[in-house]
Structure 1
Amino acid sequence: MAGAVLMAVVAAGGCSNSSGQDHGDSAKKPAPPGFSGPEPSIPSLVPAAGGDPSEPVDFKGGGAVVRPDGSMSLPLDAYVPAKDERTIAQAENVLAQQCMRDMGLKLPQALMLANGTRPAAPYVLYGVMDMKAVKAHGYREPSPEPQTASGRRADAEITPAVERAYFGDPKNGRPGCEGKAREKLGGKNPETLFMLVQQLRSQALSATFHDSRVMATIAKWSACMKESGYHYDSPLAPAHDRRLLGKGLPVPKGATLPPPSPAEIAAAVTDIECKRKARYVQTAALVSAAYQREIIEQRAEQLQDARRTQKLKVAAAEEIIKNGA
């Protein structure tokens, strides 16, 4: 995804010049630090954009996609496609296995990379947004799948010798099989593109939360929560409030928090209802996409260079997988 993909990303992310009734004349307001000119324009949101809070968010516009499963796509995601990350992870597993075999050890399944480097889940960045999930888990991260007996056996295979061989001693400049695999595949900077994109995502996210339109939706969300007795200034705050998490339930032995309680779940349900009334998720996604598009334009050459290096890395990974070593 070099120049052609950059053009496609920018074109696909094109948006109208209208900022919508909720956004007023915000296009004339200055952009947050790190960006020049006014806040970027975003498409209008119709009053019904909030939708039924019992149904998952399903939204597409302005280069942003929010899917019913809680996943989200923004313009910078095109530079680190999941398929490439899986290929790289698979190749690193092959190299790490060979390294471990050379030392007479076996690489446990529990230490094998599954999908490569991944960005934080949208709910971590923007707060909970799935009514079905919060009714079951409150503000907790749902487990992808229950741990199986085979998973426990795999964990038991991580002996001290295996751990030393795999992780090495990076603080003292002695990489283990994991580090050696990454270096062999990607050179001295094996995660250059992903780390660059993460840095740029962070820059766009910071701008998003300083954007007047997002700040306005957060104020509406906060006022809505206050009506139900919850006092929070940020949609990220409830998930970190230890007075709320598990409120009213004892802490099980060996745990750090009580399980999700009816009080926690009730707060999370109200949280999502207020987000939908304020159209917070859709506005934040649109604004994030707008800042990411500006970043893509500003850093086009750097992104293209990093993407060319990534293509070489993926090609090398495919060859390693093909040959098995």
Structure 2
Amino acid sequence: MVHPLIRRALSAFAAAALVAVGLVGCGGDPAADRARPARLYPFASAVYYTPEEERVIHDALENRTVECMRERGFDYQPVGGGSADVEPDNPYALLDTRTAATHGYGIVPAEIQQRQRPAATDTPQTDPTYDRALVGSQDDLVTLSLPGGEQVSVAVGGCVTVARTKVFAADWDTLYYTFQSLSNQAIERTGKDPAVNAAVASWSACVAESGYRAATPGELREQLAQRARQATDDAAVREVARAELAAAGADAACQERARLREATEQAQAAAEAALLTAPLQQDLARLRHLKQAALTSSPPP
């Protein structure tokens, strides 16, 4: 646990430290930003959101939940969320040189934000009738069978489900969880692809030349994350921030030399093609349509 005095010092120091070592974006060249490689997610990010998309969807769901709970006689207070500062997981730990130079991995800023969050408090007891109205009951569960053999239970009948149906459509849950399962399978297959493994091995040998011992890009990131978690004062945070930039720079340069992104893109495309049957292709088109409709506030058909 970080001592309160250290926490306050870190909070006051955070912005200056991150600017000093280059881990806070300062605008930059818009054209260069547009040229930055997009993150790589299965099925063209079908079940992934950008931070801005996450915020739009979150707000839409909360507003619909408020309406539903009001109709059931309850006052529901929207929950904050959908931060535009945190992007979703990078499943292959890919990194381009521009992002590495300007933002590193984003580990130190994320660690500081985590420390600044208020400590969790015990959730007060709520009215069971309110809870049932909001999330439904154990008697209102629907079990979905997914392509990977998994099963997921989804609560229905509560306002959370009503909101999701209004923002997307009645078949959203089935489509979403299906392609979440397929995305996980695509990521797993991509990680086992021989060409990807060869590129990762080449990357590992490359970063070793700069003094980093890591078998995968994810392992190198975790080494920096551990150092960030252990930093307890200003000097330590500054040192980790500098180390993060240096490691990210070497990481990105070696990914480029090993052509890791190209190997990953090709392997993921092959995995997607192997997983998508004709009916699933239609389902994917439907999922994308519903997602876009929700993001543009267009009611689904």
Alignment TM-score, normalising by the size of structure 1: 0.53
The answer to whether 1:125 aligns with 2:105 is no
CA distance in structure 1 between the aligned counterparts of 2:66 and 2:225, rounded to whole angstroms:
45
Q: Return closer, same or farther for 1:177/1:160 CA change in 2, 3 Å cut-off.
A: farther
Cα deviation, 1:12-56, whole Å, max 9, x if unaligned, reads xxxxxxxxxxxxxxxxxxxxxxxxxxxxxxxxxxxxxxxxxxxx9
> 2 CA distance for matches of 1:134 and 1:171?
47
- The answer to whether the aligner puts 1:134 opposite 2:63 as a matched pair is no
- Structure 1 residue 231 corresponds to structure 2 residue 213: yes
Q: CA deviation at 1:177?
A: 3.0
Aligned to 2:196: 214
Which AA in structure 2 matches 1:99? C
Distance in 2 of aligned mates of 1:205 and 1:109 = 31
1:240 aligned residue: 222
1:96 is aligned to: 65
Tell whether the 8 Å contact from 2:62 to 2:79 is kept in structure 1 after alignment: no
Using the TM superposition, give the Cα deviation of residue 293 of structure 1 relative to its aligned residue in structure 2, in angstroms: 2.3
Deviation of residue 192 (structure 1)?
1.9
In structure 1, the partner of 2:10 is none
Aligned match of 1:300:
278
More helix per residue: 2
* 1:241-286 deviation digits (Å, cap 9, x = unpaired): 2675339x73259xxx957432232112111111111111122112
Aligned pairs (5 A) from 1:222-301: 222-241=204-223, 245-246=227-228, 250-251=231-232, 258=237, 260-296=240-276, 299-301=277-279
Contact 1:183 1:190 in 2 (8 A): yes
Shift of 1:223: 0.4
Q: CA RMSD in A?
A: 4.9
Q: Do the aligned residues in 1 keep the contact of 2:100 with 2:249 (CA within 8 Å)?
A: yes
Cα pair distance change 1:288/1:170, threshold 3 Å? farther
Query: What displacement does 1:69 show?
Result: 3.8
Identity of aligned residues (%): 27
Partner deviation per Cα, 1:191-213 (whole Å, 9 max, x = no partner): 22222222222222222121111
Is the contact made by 1:88 and 1:313 (CA closer than 8 Å) also made in structure 2? no
Deviations 1:47-79 (A, max 9, x none): xxxxxxxxx9x9xxxxxxxx7444246672286
Give the 3-state SS of the residue equivalent to 2:198 in structure 1.
helix
Distance 1:306 1:130, change over 3 A: closer
Q: Does 1:76 align with 2:43?
A: yes
**1:112-164: CA deviation from partner (whole Å, max 9, x where unpaired):** x699xxx944xx212141334434543335979xx9xxxx9xxxxx99869x7
| Counterpart among 80, 101, 108 of residue 110 in structure 1 | 80
For residues 172 and 252 of structure 2, the distance between their equivalents in structure 1, rounded to whole angstroms, comes to 39
- Contact 1:225–1:274 (CA under 8 A) maintained in structure 2: yes
Change (3 A) 1:114 1:99: farther
Q: Which residue of 1 aligns with 2:179?
A: 197
Equivalents in 1 of 2:292, 2:105: separation in Å? 37
Distance 1:73 1:261 in 2: 25
The aligned counterpart of 1:63 is none
The unaligned stretches of length 5 or more in structure 1 are 1-55, 59-66, 153-157
Tell me if the contact between 1:225 and 1:231 (Cα under 8 Å) persists in the aligned partners: yes
Distance 1:98 1:213, change over 3 A: same
For the Cα contact (< 8 Å) 1:90–1:114, is it kept in 2?
Answer: no
For normalisation by structure 2, the TM-score amounts to: 0.57
